[in-house]
Amino acid sequence: TSISPTVCDSYTSPSGTIYTASAAFMDTIPNAVGCDSIISINLTVNNSTTTTSISPTVCDSYTSPSGIVYTSSANFIDTIPNVVGCDSIISINLTVDTVNNGVTQNGFTLTANDATATYQWLDCSNGNTPIMGETNQSFTALMNGNYAVEISNGACVDTSACIQVLGVGIVEQAQEVFDLKLFPNPAIN
């Protein structure tokens, strides 16, 4: 009998001998009645790929080479087949950045909820044009309009929804108190 197995890393012959390299050899095992049975083996041993290490930084989620999706930073091992069908081990040190693109409004002042980012305030009424010099976490509108903020955090960039600011320049007047007095008291028509 002749066989031609192709394996990854090592092969145990029918007689129990372990091979770690490709070879052609004869193996002897007892047959059903206890006599020698000779097998001609043409062995191909393919090797797994040694561990590779990568450190991706991504925004929101990461799909590993094997197809698993990660949404938070982690260290993990991923295994995929190499070109010869054996394991390829990848050590992954993953950093997942996220952006909180929420904005809080207090009167004419808008504040980005993400306190650890960089900011560029935008004029939504003018095609999301950047507002010159407005790169702080908070922005106070000097005129009525619609405003948003572009937030950058590591590999992530996101833009908030546009928020309408109205009433800029309207000053409330103090209410005058009128003191009405009628004389004589009681008054008669």
The predicted structure's pLDDT at residue 33: 85
Task: Extract the tokens encoding 97.
Answer: 């950045």
Tokens, residue 26: 């004869």
Round to whole Å and give the CA distance between 27 and 164: 83
Is residue 24 within 8 A of residue 42, CB to CB? The reply is yes
Q: What is the pTM of this model?
A: 0.57
Q: Is 126 helix (H, G, I), strand (E, B) or coil?
A: helix
Residues 6 or more apart whose Cβ sits within 8 Å of residue 83: none
Q: Which helix (H) or strand (E) holds 41?
A: strand 36-46
Residues (pLDDT < 70) of the chain are 170-189
C-alpha 32/C-alpha 131 separation (Å) is 88
163-165 and 103-106 strand pairing: unpaired
Residue 183 is predicted with a pLDDT of 60
Q: In this structure, are strands 36-46 and 6-8 parallel, antiparallel, or unpaired?
A: parallel
pLDDT score recorded for residue 181: 64
Greatest Cα pair distance in the chain: 141
